[in-house]
Structure 1
Amino acid sequence: MASTDYSQAAAVPAVVPPAGPVLTAGETARTVQLPGLGLVVRSRAHTAPRQGGGEAEPAMFVHGLGGSSQNWSALMASLADSLDCHALDLPGFGHSPPPDDGNYSIAAHARAVVKLLDAEGRGPVHLFGNSMGGAVSVKVAAARPDLVRSLTLISPALPEVPPQLSAVPTALLSVPGLPALYARSTREWAPERRTTALLSLIYGDPAVVGETARAAAADEYQRRFDLPYFWDVMIRSTRGIVNSYTLGGQHSLWRQAERVLAPTLLIYGVRDKLVSVRMARRASRAFRDSRLLTIPGAGHVAMMEYPYLVDRAFRDLRDDIATRARTGAADGTVTSTTDMSTAAGGS
C-alpha cells in the first residue's frame, strides 16, 4: 500500500449526512469526501478530562462483512472516558456509498482506512477491527506502522483452510450464480426472519438481543437489503476475503501479520461460527507482540456481546504500553492467554 499524501482531502468539509445512520446518545456522524470515495464516520468524543491535560488518544474502528460503524457503538461508549472514538462505514456498507472503482478487495478497504487517517491527520491511532475489518486492519498496520499505536483484532478474518463448516455458506457468496439463487429463494422472507438468521450466525447466544434491539436491527437490515448495490457489495467483498486467503509471499495475510510492529490484542469467541477459535493460537504466534483473550460465551462479535470484557482487555493492553514507555522496556513478543470463562458465562 503506497503511502500517498491525501492531506488535500482534509479541506473538504465534513457534513452530517441528510439520511444518516441511527445514532445513540453522545454520537455524531459526518461524511468525509476522499479521492474516489465518500465515507460516513460515526464519532463519540472523549468524555472526561485527560489526566495531565492534552487531547485524548484517537481510536479508529473497522467493521466486518455486512456490518457497519454501528457495530462499535457499545464499545465506543464504554471507552469514551479514555479515547476519542471514530468508526467508519467502509465503502458500500452502512451509509457509505460504493467506491468509484467498484473495488472491494481487502487491500482496497485498507486503502480507504489509510486515506481517511491521512486526510484527517489522526494517526497514530488505536486501531480496532472485527472479522473482515480485522484483515483490513492487519494490512493497514503492516503497511503504515506510523498510523497505528496499537491493534485490537476481534475474530479477524485471517486465512483458515479449510474453514469450519458453519462458515461455508457465507463463503459461497463468492461463487458465481449462488447469490442470485439465494436471493430468489429467500425473497419472501420477512425482515424479522432475515435478522433472526443473521443474529444466530454472529452471536454466541442470540437470545441476549432484546426485542427493541431486534426490531431496530430488522429495520436496518431491510434498509440495506433494499439498496440497489447491496448484493454487489456483499458478493465482491466476500470474493475479496476469499481471494486474500489464496495470496502467497509478502501479500499473504499471515506474512502481513508478522510485519505488524504495534502491540496487538487478539480476541476470539469460543462459539464463533465464522472464525474458528482454533486459529487463536496461530494468530498469537504470528504477531510479534501479542496478547490473547478467548471468551467462551462469545460468538463472532464479542465487542457487541461482551463490550465490558473487550474494554477491560484493551485497557490492560494500553496500561502495558504506558508502562513500557515509562520504563523504556524493549518491545518483544508477549503472548498471554486470559481465561474469561467465569465472567463470560463460559461453557
Structure 2
Amino acid sequence: MYFDIREPKNRPDATTVLLSAGLGGAAGYWAPQLAALRARYRVVAYDQGGTGRNSNAPAQDHSITAMADEAASVLDASGTDACHFIGHALGGLVGLELALARPERVRSLTIVNSWAAAHAHTRRCFEMRLALLKHEGPAAYARAQPIFLFPADWLARNAGRAAREEAHAITAFQGVDTLHRRIAALLAFDATARLANLGVPTLVVAARDDVLVPSLMSEQLAAAIPGSRLHVFPWGAHAVNITEPEAFNTLLLEFLDSHADRQSRPAAHH
C-alpha cells in the first residue's frame, strides 16, 4: 500500500479528502488539485494496487469491489473515519462502490467522467487500447494514451508536456497482466440497479468533448442518483481536471465546502 497525506496549515480539525485516480492508478494524477484542496482539507492520495509505488499486484479475478476494499484500507491506515471521496473514471467506480457498500465512510462523493455501466463506445475504446498493447507493446499504448485523455488543441499546445508524460508512462508502466485485470474489472462493473440506494451527496462531473467516456453516461448517472448535482464542462476532455484546473478546482471546492460539516450516513444493519 502507498498513500500520501497533505495536512492543511492551521486546520487541525480539517476533514479528509480521498483522491482516487483512473486507470493509471497513481496519486500523482491529482497534482493540479493538491494545493487548492490542501488549503482547506486534509488530503490523502494513494497509488492503487499494481500501479505507481504500490507493488500489490491485483488478483486474477480483480474487481471494483476489491478496489473499494483497498480504498477503505487506505482510510483505516491514514486514521480516517469518513472522507469526501473524489474519483476519476475508474476511481469514480471505486467511489460508487465504497459509498454503496460502506456509506459510513463517505461524507460526499465526486465522480469525474465516469459511469454506472460501461457504454458500447467506451468498451470499443478499451478494446482498441488492449489490441494496441497486444500487437505493438507498452510504448505504443503509452503513445496513444493522450488521444483518449486530452483535447487535440490542448495536446498541440502542450506537445512537450505530452512527450514527458509519455516517457513517464512507459517507465512507470503497470504491466500487461495488471492492466488487463484492471480493465476487465471496470468493464464488468455495473451499479445501475443500486444507484437509487445511494444516499451520499454526489457531484457528477463530465466534459462534453470526452472521447473515451461520452458525457451522456455522466448525465444518465446523475439522473439515477437521488439528489445528485451534474456539471458538464463544454471543453476539457477526459482529463478535465488537468486541462481546466482552475475551473475544476473552483467547482470542486464549492461542492466540498457545501458539505464540509456533513457526517457520513450510518451503515445499514440487516
Q: Same fold (TM over 0.5)?
A: yes
Residue 106 (structure 2) aligns with: 148
Q: Distance in 2 between matches of 1:209 and 1:141?
A: 38
Larger Rg: 1
Structure 1 distance, partners of 2:220, 2:255, is 20
Amino acid across the alignment from 1:94: G
**Structure-1 residue corresponding to 2:267:** none
Relative distance call for 1:276 and 1:115 in structure 2 (3 A) is same
TM-score normalized with structure 2 length: 0.86
**Cross-structure match for 2:7:** 45
Separation in structure 2 between the aligned mates of residue 154 and residue 215 of structure 1, nearest angstrom: 25
Aligned to 2:135: 185
Aligned residue identity for 2:204: L
Q: How does 1:271-310 map to 2 (within 5 A)?
A: 271-310=209-248
Q: Structure 1 59/319 Cα, relative in aligned 2: closer, same or farther at 3 Å? A: closer
The one-letter amino acid of 1:293's match is: H
Matches of 2:262 and 2:104, distance apart in 1: 18
State the shift of 1:100 in Å: 6.8
Alignment of 1:207-286 (within 5 A): 207=155, 210-225=158-173, 230-245=175-190, 253-286=191-224
- CA distance, structure 2, for counterparts of residue 60 and residue 103 of structure 1: 25
Q: Secondary structure at the match of 1:261?
A: coil
The amino acid that maps onto 2:108 is S
Q: CA 1:140–1:209 in 2, change beyond 3 Å: closer, same or farther?
A: farther
- Is structure 2 residue 38 aligned with structure 1 residue 93? no
Give the CA deviation at 1:167. Answer: 4.9
TM-score by length of 1: 0.68
One-letter amino acid matched to 2:93: A
Which SS does the other structure have where 1:149 is aligned? strand
1:59 matched residue in structure 2: 17
Query: Secondary structure at 1:86's aligned position in 2?
Result: strand
For residues 275 and 116 of structure 1, do their structure 2 counterparts lie closer, same or farther at Cα, with a shift above 3 Å needed?
A: same
Residues 155-196 of structure 1 deviation map (CA, whole Å, 9 limit, x = unaligned): 1132144x22x65131456xxxxx4x6345324x8x5x6544
- Residue 86 of structure 2: aligned partner: 128
Q: 2:144 is matched with which residue?
A: 197
Task: For residue 135 of structure 1, give the secondary structure of its aligned residue in structure 2.
Answer: helix
User: Cα gap change, 1:322/1:217 in structure 2, threshold over 3 Å: closer, same or farther?
Assistant: closer
Q: 2:97 aligns with which of 103, 122, 139?
A: 139
CA-CA distance at 1:95 after TM superposition:
1.8
Q: Is the 8 A contact 1:202 1:300 kept in 2?
A: yes
Deviation at 1:82, TM superposition (A): 1.1
Q: Equivalent pairs: percent with the same residue?
A: 22
Amino acid at match of 1:217: E
In 2, are the aligned partners of 1:194 and 1:218 still within 8 Å (CA)?
A: no
Deviations 1:198-247 (A, max 9, x none): 1111112442763553343123211133x6xx1101111111122224xx
Paired AA for residue 42 in structure 1: D
SS at match of 2:249: helix
- Provide the C-alpha distance between the structure 1 equivalents of 2:157 and 2:178, rounded to a whole number of angstroms: 26
- 1: CA distance between counterparts of 2:21 and 2:178? 14
- Count of residue correspondences: 262
Q: Which of these residues, 69, 76, 85, is aligned with residue 111 of structure 1?
A: 69
Higher helix share: 2
Q: Any idea what the Cα deviations from partners look like across 1:85-119, whole Å, max 9, x if unmatched? A: 11111101122113474442111111111122123
Q: Gaps spanning 5+ residues in structure 1: where? A: 1-38, 174-178, 246-252, 326-347
Larger RCO: 1 or 2 (CA < 8 Å, sep 6+): 2
- Give, in angstroms, the shift of residue 322 of structure 1: 5.4
